[in-house]
Structures are given as C-alpha cells and as structure tokens.
C-alpha cells in the first residue's frame, strides 16, 4: 500500500483548487495550470497545515496541562469557555491579542521586537522536520534529527537577546540564567542522542522510528532516556528547572517587560518547545507511531492510526512533565548547573558507552536480537 504523505495531500489540494479556478476563469487557465504555481501553492498549503496542526496541538497542550494541574491541585481547571474549558486558551489568546504592546523607553527596538519573533519562528520551524506519522515527511531529510536539535538550540540566543534588550535587571538576570541553563543541558541531550544514533545507525527520524518496530529504545537505552528527559525538562524551562522565569524572585524572568502579543509569543513558543520535546522523546525512545506487536492489528489499521497513537504517546509524555511540575519545587541556579555538568554529562557518557556495547554485542537477551544493529 502506497503511503499518502502530507505533501501528497497538499499537492492534491493545491492542484484541485487551481483546477477549479482555471475552470471558472478560462482566460487565466494558462497561468493557473502552471506546474510551478501548483508547486508553490502546495508548498504554502503544506506549511499552513503544519502551522495549524502544531498551533492547535500547542493550545490543546496548554488546555491539557491546565486541566491536569487542576486535578492535581484538587480543583477543576478551566471550566467556563467551551465544553470543559476547551476554548479558554483561545479566549486568553484573544485577550492578549487585543492588548496594547508597549516597550520600555530605553529598550532596544530590534532586540525587543526581533527576539520574541525569532524565538517563535525557530520554535515553529522545528515542526517542519518532526515526522508525526509514517506519511508525514517521508525520507525527505536524512539528517532530520540533527536539524531538529540544531533548531532547538537556537533558543538561548534569542532569549538572551530579548532579555538584554529589555533593559531591565530582572530580565537580564533571567536571560543569563536561561542561557547558562540551556547551554549546560544541551551537552547531555546531544550525548543521549548519540546513544540512540549508535543503536539506530541513522540520523533520520523516520528511520529511527522504523528501527523501533520490533522493540522500543526506552528499554535498552533507559539511561539515555532518563538523561534526555531531564535535559528536555531543563530546555523547556519547566519546574523544577524554571529558574529563568522564577516568578518568586525574578518577577517573570526574561519576559518581565513583555506584555500583550509579545508575551503570548513567548508563552506559545514555550509550549511549542514543550510539544517538540515530548515529540522528540516519543520519536527517539517510545517507538514513534508504531505499536507493540501484541496490540491487535485493528488498532494500527484504522485511518490515521499512526497520528492518533503518536499524539496519545506525546500527551502521555507531556503528562509526566505536568505531574513533575505539580509535585516538585524549583532548584537553585548553582544546584541546577551542578546537576547538569556533574551528574547528567557523566551519566550520558555512560549511556553512550552502554549503547556502543549494545551495538558490539548485537544482541540483548532481554529484548531479543536486533536485526539491523551495527549496520
């Protein structure tokens, strides 16, 4: 069965739309049936679908977190707008959109407005390379995981720029904390990814998922999963690692001076990154859109089953992060950096060594022999 990719969908929509237009406006048919135009429109549609999907998912993620946090705290979370508060975040977004955007007089224009914009754009960019199902972006990018991590690591730069240009001491401290934290945790994350790459033998996220069809990586690479999850928690700046915006001492950290839509940009980008982090964990360790073989085939043969199972896994992973947020206090800056440099990096090195040993042995009694190990 040929897999319908997202690009196919976009191309079908674009050519169909232009075909109808050409039928209505015969004089312009020569232009509307131009293959370049069809290609251009399908590229735009492709992007729009990705944008819509990631945005809606992000907003649902916020709703999910609010409801779940509410339950952890003995309350019900958002209840009033829409069914069970489903539309509450749209209402909140609308409120922020209507607010006046203002800038401190001494703030630097380019950094103040450019920082959040770039932060938002790079966060969105990541969803172009993260495959959500088998047909999402099929074999297009042989180094897609590397690209995703590169885009992911842009954030501290833009956060620091916007913090510095706000010309506020709290923002500056938050920005410096943020930069220190993200750079410190970048290293263990990359090393944990090296462990995955060693076992999977590829940088392509699609291939990594396909490698996990027989067994998911979380078992043999548990240490790498642990390091990666903790590192992701720090990269997302969530409790217990949310020092850059520790509201108790830094008011709101690096986004103290931001209000209205710019603040909404930061919030959205934060949750976009949280979504991307959860997706990365599912892709690298939890088998992506695949299901264990003992699950009845009907579960995987449904239309869009891949996407559905993928999202279920993603939301479960994010649910664990929400749980952590509800249960733990915040660590201190020096403790955070000590955890990063002195605990996580050695652990991730051990994980790499373990993964290398796994590849050498080529076989793990508990998890069964691995067909494609060692290339």
Partner 1 sequence: MSDMWINMGPQHPMTHGLWNLRVHIDGEMILGVDPEMGYLHRGIEKISEDRHYNEVITLMDRTCYVAGMAWEHLYIQAAEKALGLEPPERAEWIRMMSEEFQRLASHIMWYAAFVQDLGLMSPFLYGMRDRDLILDLFQSYTGGRLTYEYMRVGGVRNDLPVGFNDRARKVLDWLEPRLVEYDRLCMGSDIFRRRCDDLGILKAADCVKHGVTGPMLRSAGSKRDIRKDRPYSRYAQVDFDVATAESADVTGRYLVRMEEMRQSIRILRQTLDWLDHHPGPVLADRLPRWLGAPYAPIGREAYLLKRNYPKGIGLSAIEEPHGEACAYVVNEGGEHPYRVKFRSPVFANLSAASQYLVGYHVADIPPIMGSVDVCVGEVDR
Binding site for partner 1 (CB under 8 A): 69, 72-75, 169-170, 172-173, 176, 239-240, 242-243, 246-251, 325-335
| CB closer to partner 1 out of 48 and 249 | 249
**From the CB of 334, what's the least distance to partner 1, in Å?**
7
Neighbouring C-alpha atoms within 13 Å toward the C-beta of 91: 10
Peptide bond into 240 cis (omega under 30): yes
**From the CB of 73, what's the least distance to partner 1, in Å?**
4
| CB closer to partner 1 out of 216 and 241 | 241
**From the CB of 156, what's the least distance to partner 1, in Å?**
17
**From the CB of 241, what's the least distance to partner 1, in Å?**
10
Of 276, 133, 164, 281, nearest to 221 by C-alpha is: 281
The residues near 319 (Cβ < 8 Å, ≥ 6 apart) are 64, 68
| CB closer to partner 1 out of 27 and 329 | 329
Of 116, 65, 120, 121, nearest to 88 by C-alpha is: 65
Place of tokens 């992911």: 152
**Directed axis angle between helix 109-125 and helix 155-165, to 10°?**
160
Residues 298 and 149: beta-carbon distance below 8 Å: no
| CB closer to partner 1 out of 65 and 204 | 65
| CB closer to partner 1 out of 173 and 354 | 173
Total Cβ atoms within 10 A of residue 335: 12
Q: Which phi and psi angles does 275 have, rounded to 5°?
A: -65, -45
**From the CB of 280, what's the least distance to partner 1, in Å?**
25
**From the CB of 105, what's the least distance to partner 1, in Å?**
18
How far is the C-alpha of 367 from the C-alpha of 199, rounded, in Å?
13
| CB closer to partner 1 out of 155 and 246 | 246
Please give the torsion angle defined by the CA atoms of residues 331, 333, 334 and 337, in that order, rounded to the nearest 10 degrees. Answer: 90
**From the CB of 236, what's the least distance to partner 1, in Å?**
15
Q: Which phi and psi angles does 364 have, rounded to 5°?
A: -130, 120
**From the CB of 300, what's the least distance to partner 1, in Å?**
37
Buried b (16+ CB within 10 A) or exposed e, 244-265: bbbeeebebbbbbbbeebbbbb
Please report, in angstroms and rounded to a whole number, the separation of the first and last CA atoms in the chain. 27
| CB closer to partner 1 out of 35 and 329 | 329
Cα angle at 248 between 163 and 337, to 5 degrees?
65
| CB closer to partner 1 out of 74 and 109 | 74
**From the CB of 172, what's the least distance to partner 1, in Å?**
8
| CB closer to partner 1 out of 23 and 343 | 343
């Amino acid at each position: 069965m040929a897999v319908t990719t997202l690009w196919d969908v976009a191309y079908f929509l674009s050519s169909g739309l232009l075909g109808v237009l050409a039928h209505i406006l015969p004089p312009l048919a020569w232009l509307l049936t131009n293959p370049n135009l069809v290609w251009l429109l399908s590229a735009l549609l492709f992007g729009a679908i990705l944008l819509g999907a990631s945005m809606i998912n992000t907003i649902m993620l916020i709703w999910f977190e609010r409801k779940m946090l509410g339950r952890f705290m003995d309350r019900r979370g958002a209840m009033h707008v829409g069914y069970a508060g489903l539309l509450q975040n749209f209402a909140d977004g609308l409120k922020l959109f209507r607010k006046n955007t203002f800038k401190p007089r001494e703030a630097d224009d380019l950094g103040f407005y450019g920082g959040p914009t770039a932060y938002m754009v790079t966060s969105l960019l990541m969803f172009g390379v993260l495959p959500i199902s088998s047909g999402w972006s099929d074999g297009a990018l042989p180094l897609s995981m590397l690209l995703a991590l590169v885009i992911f690591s842009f954030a501290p730069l833009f956060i620091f720029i916007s913090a510095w240009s706000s010309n506020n001491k709290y923002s500056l401290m938050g920005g410096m904390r943020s930069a220190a934290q993200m750079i410190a945790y970048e290293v263990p994350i990359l090393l944990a990814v090296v462990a995955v790459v060693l076992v999977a033998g590829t940088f392509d996220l699609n291939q990594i998922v396909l490698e996990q069809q027989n067994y998911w990586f979380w078992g043999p690479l548990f240490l790498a999963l642990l390091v990666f999850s903790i590192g992701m928690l720090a990269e997302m700046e969530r409790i217990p690692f949310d020092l850059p915006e520790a509201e108790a001492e830094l008011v709101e950290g690096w986004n103290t001076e931001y209000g209205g839509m710019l603040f909404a940009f930061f919030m959205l980008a934060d949750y976009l990154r949280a979504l991307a982090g959860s997706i990365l964990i599912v892709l690298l360790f939890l088998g992506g859109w695949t299901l264990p073989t003992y699950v009845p085939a009907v579960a995987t043969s449904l239309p869009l089953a891949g996407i559905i199972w993928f999202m279920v896994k993603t939301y479960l992973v994010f649910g664990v992060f929400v749980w952590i947020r509800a249960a733990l206090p915040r660590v201190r800056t020096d403790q955070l950096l000590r955890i990063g440099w002195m605990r996580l990096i050695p652990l991730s090195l051990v994980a790499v060594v373990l993964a290398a040993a796994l590849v050498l042995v080529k076989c793990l009694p508990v998890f069964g022999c691995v067909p494609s190990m060692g290339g």
